[in-house]
């Protein structure tokens, strides 16, 4: 059998596990020197001893006197003992396919790994149980004076007294292991994975809730923890729902708020999904719809912000927290951004290139007020003081709208000219600040333009090969995932494509783009950009394309300049950045 210390095989009963309890005696040197002098091991299964292994080992070096006194192993005893190159492979063969157990396991395992490295042999990476760590977690404070092997052997009434000889110590560790298994078994620990990850942080009540996962499918999809009122507490996704949910009842889950959530939960629902992308999208939608209090994203929806060109007589740039149905009225959006600070950096870049106002007051053709600092600096057309009327302000608004929607050349040329001037004056730090602002604008504009382009397409059908040579198939309508399916290896995907189209969600043409959460469209775009993803021929009547002078090109040019450690200017002009 092959066991790994992961949750992919969660739920291996302890009665079905073969343990090899090992102890080493060493020269006391570095593990990399592999100074092993004795190996003792006991193979046990279901509480019964089924084999033992013991050998002295010639380390090829003299044993320090204090080690000889401690263990009773002398140089003369090891003269005819097998070398590491014989002893360690023999032990690894004895332990093959088993779970290793040791007291203070990192010490013994480090010497075995060191021996494998010296022998140019791959370490088999078995699952490992450390009885010292387990004892510290399982025994209550004051129950034993310490967790040394001798103390624990006496506490659990081991038939063997530890003697600093490998086989005796291994036999004593077997009794300690069985005593600890009995102890944690009464607390609900019955599988290998739970034993490896056992911690006193996980309460017995929390462990007893493992039954909530029993009826869940071990398939890809979304899971919802609910309380006694059926209110959603937490929404998550996984490739294997039951396996993932069971980890919430073990010490592998270290988030404090999750332990609190599990304590409240009384049920778990599952939604099986055809593909990982469908699971991602359903998770996003459920979090937005249910606002479960233990999902950070649902508790902090205000973190996503946009830069908005408002729709009013004198439009302005504003940082907002939602996209409204006002695009048809003349509004335009940039983003989303993760914080207000980064959104304001994008506003700085735009305002440096286009003299559009950023003040918060709504203006009419008759309202006036005093000039602001930007107006005094010549960086705003100042409609607030009559510097321009509605007709004169319109070209400025159109320039800003084009920058947000499909043409960033004006912003790029203005900011690059500023970078050139700052660099010529050796003001490199200030130039770097403005380059970062330009890059922030470009990221938000590229994201918004990509989402808008996808949202204009009534229907896309895309496919991507899976690792097992099947196909993931997705139907995307107006930027929203409308259907998902998956075929197995060697199966013609065309019937599945046809069925997916027939059952896909109807999505009406949106009044404003897109017809989905911005994050959903972003996840879809990311999937479409992965290796192997392709459009299914003949399934879309509308071309999916990005603006010729959009922000994607600007973002690529800025990335290239960063990689070259220069700021690249138009017409092959370059300003070198100072070293450091």
3-class DSSP assignment, residue 99: strand
Please, what is the end-to-end C-alpha distance for the chain in angstroms?
A: 55
Give catalytic residues, as residue numbers.
164
Q: What are phi and psi of 128, to 5 degrees?
A: -130, 135
Single out the residue of 108, 197, 180, 173 nearest to residue 143, CA to CA: 180
Residues in Cβ contact with 256 at an 8 Å cutoff, skipping those fewer than 6 apart: none
Helices (H), 456-576: 494-503, 518-528, 551-563
- Could you identify the residue written with the tokens 């003081």? 385
Contact (CB, 8 A) for 235 and 295:
yes
Beta carbons within 8 Å of 55's beta carbon, 6+ residues apart: 38, 39, 81, 82, 87, 90, 91
> Based on the number of CB atoms within 10 Å of its own CB, is 564 exposed (0-12), middle (13-18) or buried (19 or more)?
exposed
- What gap in Å lies between CA 483 and CA 505, rounded to an integer? 6
Separation of alpha carbons 316 and 420, rounded Å: 28
Burial class (CB in 10 A: 0-12, 13-18, 19+), 76: exposed
């Amino acid at each position: 059998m092959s066991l790994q210390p992961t949750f992919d095989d969660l739920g291996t009963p302890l009665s079905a596990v073969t343990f090899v309890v090992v102890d080493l005696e060493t020269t006391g040197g570095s593990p990399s020197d592999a100074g092993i002098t004795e190996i003792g091991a006991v193979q046990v299964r279901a509480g019964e001893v089924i084999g033992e292994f013991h050998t002295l080992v010639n380390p090829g070096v003299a044993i320090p006197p204090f080690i000889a006194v401690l263990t009773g192993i002398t140089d003369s005893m090891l003269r005819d003992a097998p070398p590491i190159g014989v002893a360690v492979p023999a032990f690894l063969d004895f332990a093959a396919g088993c779970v290793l157990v040791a007291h203070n396991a990192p010490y013994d395992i480090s010497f075995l790994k060191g021996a494998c490295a010296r022998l140019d042999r791959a370490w088999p990476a078995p699952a490992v149980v450390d009885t010292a760590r387990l004892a510290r977690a399982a025994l209550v404070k004051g129950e034993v004076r310490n967790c040394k092997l001798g103390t624990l052997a006496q506490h659990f009434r081991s038939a063997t007294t530890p003697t600093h000889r490998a086989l005796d110590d291994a036999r004593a560790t077997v009794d300690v292991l069985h005593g600890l298994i009995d102890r944690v078994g009464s607390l609900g620990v019955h599988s290998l994975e739970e034993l490896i990850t056992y911690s006193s942080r996980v309460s017995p009540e929390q462990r007893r809730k493992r039954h909530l996962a029993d009826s869940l499918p071990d398939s890809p999809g979304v899971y919802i923890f609910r309380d006694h009122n059926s209110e959603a507490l937490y929404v998550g996704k996984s490739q294997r729902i039951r396996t993932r949910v069971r980890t919430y009842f073990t010490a592998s889950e270290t988030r404090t708020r999750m332990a609190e959530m599990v304590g409240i939960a009384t049920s778990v629902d599952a939604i099986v999904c055809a593909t990982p992308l469908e699971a991602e999208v359903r998770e996003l939608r459920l979090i937005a719809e249910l606002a479960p209090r233990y999902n950070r994203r649902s508790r902090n929806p205000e973190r996503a912000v946009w830069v908005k060109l408002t729709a009013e007589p004198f439009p302005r740039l504003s940082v907002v927290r939602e996209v409204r149905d006002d695009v048809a009225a003349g509004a335009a959006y940039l983003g989303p951004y993760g914080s207000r600070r980064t959104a304001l950096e994008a506003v700085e870049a735009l305002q440096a290139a286009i003299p559009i106002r950023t003040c918060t007051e709504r203006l009419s053709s008759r309202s006036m007020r005093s000039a602001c600092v930007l107006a005094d600096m010549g960086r705003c057309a100042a409609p607030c003081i009559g510097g321009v009327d509605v007709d004169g302000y319109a070209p400025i608004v159109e320039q800003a709208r084009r920058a947000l929607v499909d043409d960033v050349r004006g912003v790029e040329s203005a900011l690059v000219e500023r970078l050139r001037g700052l660099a010529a004056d050796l003001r490199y730090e200030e130039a770097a600040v403005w380059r970062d602002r330009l890059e922030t604008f470009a990221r938000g504009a590229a994201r918004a333009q990509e989402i808008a382009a996808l949202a204009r397409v009534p229907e896309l059908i895309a496919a991507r090969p899976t690792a097992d040579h099947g196909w993931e198939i997705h139907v995307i309508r107006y930027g929203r995932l409308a259907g998902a399916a998956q075929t197995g290896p060697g199966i013609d995907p065309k019937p599945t494509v046809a069925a997916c189209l027939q059952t896909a969600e109807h999505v009406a043409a949106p009044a404003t783009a897109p017809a989905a959460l911005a994050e959903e469209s972003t996840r879809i775009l990311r999937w479409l950009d992965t290796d192997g993803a392709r459009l299914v021929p003949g399934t879309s009547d509308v071309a999916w394309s990005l603006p010729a002078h959009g922000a994607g090109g600007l973002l690529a040019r800025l990335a290239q300049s960063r990689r070259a450690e220069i700021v690249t200017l138009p017409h092959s002009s370059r300003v070198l950045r100072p070293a450091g």
